[in-house]
Chains A and B, each alone.
Chain A
Amino acid sequence: MKLSEIRDLLDARVIVGEDKLDIEITTAFGADLMSDVLSFARSGCLLITGLSNPQAVRTAYALDIAAILVCRGKFLTDKFIETARELGIPILWTRFIIFESCGRLFQKGLTGCIRKTDGNEEKIIVR
């Protein structure tokens, strides 16, 4: 599904990345713990989070995550937005909570970016 469709589905505002709304997204990862994202998220996914600090953007950048959806109307600092612009990470902002956002996107066919977690072999198989 296109980033623009995600925007419409969640009544979201595009904070960064108006020019990237055609990006196609098929997987998502929901988390507020950045170490969790760093450990398990896959490149190309949508990061659904309640965090809005520059570290979330840098985490997305580290893993080539396609875009960040900031949920529950979390306040966005200038520093967060600047970092996203600098690193070219599209930011969508919605008032829906993470549960509702994930729920709606799952209904529309997005899938989680991991099926199962365990151990070291992951980096060899998927990364």
Chain B
Amino acid sequence: METRKKLLSDEDFPESLEGIYRIQGRDFVDAGIISSEVKKSLQGKGIPESIIRRIAVITFEAEINIISYAEQGTIQLFIEPDAIIIEANDIGPGIEDIDLALQEGYSTADDSIRELGFGAGMGLSNIKKFSDIFELTSDVGQGTRLKSIVKLNG
């Protein structure tokens, strides 16, 4: 899918930026593809498999969230010397009550999301669970920003 491909890794971007992936809201067909791409791009770099799995899970849930709830968004992958960072930013309705959204089991998903096997209210808590550092901020009516850091050395 054209819009989902890695865009560019230009000189303007920080050196640690490994890739930018664009996501179109409500486009469920290829949901999960960015997680697969991110995983592929982390392999062969000497990063422990267990860390790669955590990043793949975080990316998967972040991707599903954007597809499910936002108009569009991006996921950025950074490889720092001591950590892998995933940033997911979207333009969309935002989250009114972040504490509530983080509560396991809370979900506003519709059937198209549930049919994929998602939407059970576990996504954000999964991201939190697999992150060492997790930040979530949102402006209602504008969008949501999520940053997840997985440290490379414990």
A residues apposed to B, CB below 8 Å = 32-39, 43, 49, 51, 53-56, 58-59, 61-64, 79, 87, 119-120, 122-124, 127
Contacts and interface: CB of A to CB of B under 8 A. Distances in A.
Most buried by B among A34, A119, A122: A34
B130 A123 contact: yes
Interface string B18-37: 00000000000111110110
A48 B123 CA distance: 21
A127 B131 CA distance: 13
B145 to A, nearest CB: 21
Interface in B91-139: 115-118, 120, 122-123, 125-126, 129-130
B129 A123 contact: yes
B60 interface: yes
A34 B118 contact: yes
Interface string B58-91: 0111000000000000000000000000000000
B56 interface: yes
Contacts of A53: 115-117
B6 interface: no
Nearest to A61: B36
A93 to B, nearest CB: 17
Given A43-B53, A127-B50, A127-B53, A62 B39 contact: yes
A32 B117 contact: yes
B49 A64 contact: yes
A55 B126 CA distance: 16
B35 A35 contact: no
Contacts of B49: 43, 64
Contacts of B130: 123
Interface in B2-51: 29-33, 35-36, 39, 49-50
